[in-house]
């Protein structure tokens, strides 16, 4: 694993804090952009079975020429595959499509049925069978994050949730710290909305950086993993250029203060509730 960019170590596993997201990337774009991102220097790629681009992502990894063992690769189990047999079947299918064993396999969204016992048991079995190196969660509120970890023999390395300047996740951060886990921010750029933010823009001017760069820096400076997505090589390059400056405590606080509890993608099952704000 390359060490010239910041990582977080969770349960002995080193994860690059800056990753590259692939949601909504058509297969052709996924192959092209994953290869480009890796050439730029990204060493962490995020995909999911439901994105229908795992094979394309695997191709991008091979096209890049970057050795596989330098890359941290995440994919996710879709909610329709949460029964034991279905989960193991998809874990195998995902590894086959990617053409490589993922480093991290997440449960995409929490689901009440089948039981957490069955699904967490199967996720651990997938790990024991070598279908993934590590396991984790996505979109689990704090209560269910704790329940899931209590049912999992292996550490759940991360909980990947929506997080950006307009949506604080303070309680989840405390829960992750408590459990010795981590938070990964999806939609870290608020799907592009941060580009027009006056406060973030002003902070960027001080550092000669764009609003996107300031936002990603704000995340990784808190040890939050961020996985921005773009179809543009120039933007991928820009988003990777965030390791040569630091935000002051005052600038960090000004960005914290932009929170307005704005959720851009809410597919949480009605059986669950997000943490209370604050």
Interface ranges with ligand NAP (CB under 6 A) = 21-23, 46, 138-139, 160, 186-192, 195, 210, 212, 227-232, 235, 238, 265
Query: Measured from the CB atom, is 129 or 137 closer to ligand NAP?
Result: 137
Active site residue 166: no
As a whole number of angstroms, the distance between CA 265 and CA 190 comes to 10
Cβ–Cβ under 8 Å, residues 165 and 200: yes
Q: Which is nearer to ligand NAP, 91 or 250 (CB)?
A: 91
Residue whose CB is nearest to ligand NAP in the complex, by number: 21
Residue with Cβ nearer ligand NAP (129 or 193): 193
158/22 Cα distance (integer angstroms): 18
Minimum Å gap between C-beta 99 and ligand NAP is 19
Q: Smallest gap, in angstroms, from Cβ of residue 230 to ligand NAP?
A: 3
| Residue 153, φ and ψ in degrees, nearest 5 | -70, -40
Q: Which of 20, 49, 51, 166 is catalytic?
A: 51
Q: Least distance to ligand NAP from the beta carbon of 262, Å?
A: 12
Nearer of residues 61 and 190 to ligand NAP, judged by Cβ: 190
We find the least distance from the C-beta atom of residue 104 to ligand NAP, in angstroms, to be 12
CB 239 within 8 A of CB 178: no
DSSP secondary structure string for all residues of 232-260 = -HHHHHHHH--SS----HHHHHHHHTT--
Q: DSSP assignment, residue 166?
A: T
Minimum CB distance to ligand NAP, residue 192 (Å): 3
Rg (CA), the chain: 18
Nearer to ligand NAP, 126 or 188 (CB): 188
Which element (helix H / strand E) includes 93?
helix 84-98
CA dist 101 → 8, 72, 94, 152, 226 (Å): 21, 10, 8, 20, 22
> CB–CB of 160/19 below 8 Å?
no
As annotated, the active-site residues are 51
């Amino acid at each position: 694993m390359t060490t010239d960019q910041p990582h977080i170590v969770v349960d002995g596993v080193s994860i690059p804090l800056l990753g590259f997201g692939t949601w909504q990337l058509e297969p052709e774009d996924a192959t092209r952009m994953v290869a480009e991102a890796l050439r730029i220097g990204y060493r962490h790629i995020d995909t999911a079975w439901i994105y229908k681009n795992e094979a394309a992502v695997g191709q991008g990894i091979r096209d890049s020429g970057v050795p596989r063992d330098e890359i941290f690769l995440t994919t996710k189990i879709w909610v329709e595959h949460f029964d034991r047999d279905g989960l193991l079947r998809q874990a195998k299918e995902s590894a086959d499509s990617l053409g490589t064993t993922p480093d991290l396999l997440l449960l995409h969204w929490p689901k009440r049925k089948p039981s957490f016992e069955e699904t967490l048991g199967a996720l651990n079995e997938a790990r024991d069978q070598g279908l993934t190196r590590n396991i984790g969660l996505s979109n689990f509120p704090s209560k269910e994050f704790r329940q899931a970890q209590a049912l999992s023999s292996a550490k759940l390395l991360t909980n990947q949730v929506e997080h950006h300047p307009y949506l604080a996740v303070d309680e989840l951060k405390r829960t992750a710290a408590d459990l010795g886990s981590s938070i990964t921010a999806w939609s870290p750029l608020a799907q592009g909305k941060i580009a027009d933010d006056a406060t973030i823009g002003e902070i960027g001017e001080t550092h000669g950086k764009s609003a996107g760069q300031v936002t990603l820096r704000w995340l990784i400076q808190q040890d939050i993993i961020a996985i921005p997505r773009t179809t543009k090589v120039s933007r991928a390059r820009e988003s990777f250029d965030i390791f040569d400056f630091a935000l002051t405590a005052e600038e960090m606080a000004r960005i914290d203060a932009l929170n307005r509890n704005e959720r851009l993608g809410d597919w949480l099952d009605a059986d669950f509730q997000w943490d209370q704000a604050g």
